[in-house]
């Protein structure tokens, strides 16, 4: 049977091919490297003066979001699949609001340790959500690693250095994950 005999199956197969191509756009290396580097920058800011860390993250998050969006649009255009999936954009836009609320509530309730734990859980949960959306086992591993690392650090690091050390550790995890993904099957 050929395309003329069965146009419905041909159109279905074209849509499947397009979906597979779009799925290959879910490259995780670039956002991981950017947010890992931003987290390392936050560690430096926190080591200098922790009160500026929140301002830094607002600016860094905006810059990273714009860079990731620009990369994704250019990649989609280069591959030729047209528009990006708007679910991803909504996820990236919702994340800072959830993080700010969770961090504020936990920081008020639990001090610095509560702030670090809440942010670690929210960031880890975010990566687990992205893992499901992007079909990325690496993102799931990184989400769990972020949660575990922040839990351990919150338990053993003194409160004065905790924000800087947590940002340093999370930045290292994300950067290593991004560099690994760059050369692996996670970067289709």
Residue-range definition of the domain harbouring residue 160 = 25-182
Contact 39, 171 (CB under 8 A): yes
What is residue 73's predicted lDDT score, i.e. its pLDDT?
A: 77
Count the domains in the chain: 1
Percent of the chain predicted with pLDDT > 70: 74
> Residue 49, class by beta-carbon neighbours within 10 Å (0-12 exposed, 13-18 middle, 19+ buried)?
exposed
> Which residues lie closer than 8 Å to 80 by C-beta, 6 or more apart?
21
**CA distance linking residue 58 with residue 45, whole number of Å:** 13
Low-confidence ranges of the chain (pLDDT < 70): 1-5, 16-26, 79-97, 99-100, 102-104, 106-108, 185-188
Task: Kindly state whether residue 119 falls inside one of the protein's structural domains.
Answer: yes
Task: Kindly state whether residue 10 falls inside one of the protein's structural domains.
Answer: no
Task: Kindly state whether residue 132 falls inside one of the protein's structural domains.
Answer: yes
What is residue 54's predicted lDDT score, i.e. its pLDDT?
A: 82
Contact 54, 68 (CB under 8 A): no
**CA distance linking residue 138 with residue 33, whole number of Å:** 13
Task: Kindly state whether residue 7 falls inside one of the protein's structural domains.
Answer: no
Task: Kindly state whether residue 11 falls inside one of the protein's structural domains.
Answer: no
Q: For the segment 65-87, what is each residue's pLDDT rounded down to a tens digit?
A: 888 888 877 877 776 665 555 55
- Tokens, residue 76: 């989609």
Task: Kindly state whether residue 15 falls inside one of the protein's structural domains.
Answer: no
Task: Kindly state whether residue 5 falls inside one of the protein's structural domains.
Answer: no
Task: Kindly state whether residue 64 falls inside one of the protein's structural domains.
Answer: yes
């Amino acid at each position: 049977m050929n395309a003329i005999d069965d146009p419905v199956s041909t159109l279905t197969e074209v849509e499947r091919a397009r979906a597979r191509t779009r799925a290959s756009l879910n490259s995780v290396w670039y956002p991981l490297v950017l947010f890992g580097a931003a987290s390392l920058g936050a560690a430096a800011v926190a080591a200098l003066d922790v009160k500026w860390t929140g301002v830094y993250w607002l600016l860094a998050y905006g810059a990273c979001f714009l860079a990731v969006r620009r990369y994704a649009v250019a990649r989609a255009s280069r591959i030729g699949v047209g528009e990006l999936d708007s679910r991803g954009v909504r996820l990236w836009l919702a994340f800072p609001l959830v993080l700010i609320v969770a961090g504020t509530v936990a920081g008020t309730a639990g001090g610095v340790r509560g702030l670090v734990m809440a942010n670690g859980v929210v960031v880890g949960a975010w990566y687990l959500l992205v893992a499901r959306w992007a079909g990325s086992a690496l993102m799931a591993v990184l989400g769990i690693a972020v949660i575990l690392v922040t839990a351990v650090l919150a338990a053993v690091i003194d409160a004065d250095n905790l924000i800087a050390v947590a940002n340093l550790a999370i930045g290292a995890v994300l950067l290593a994950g991004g560099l690994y993904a760059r050369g692996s099957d996670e970067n289709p």
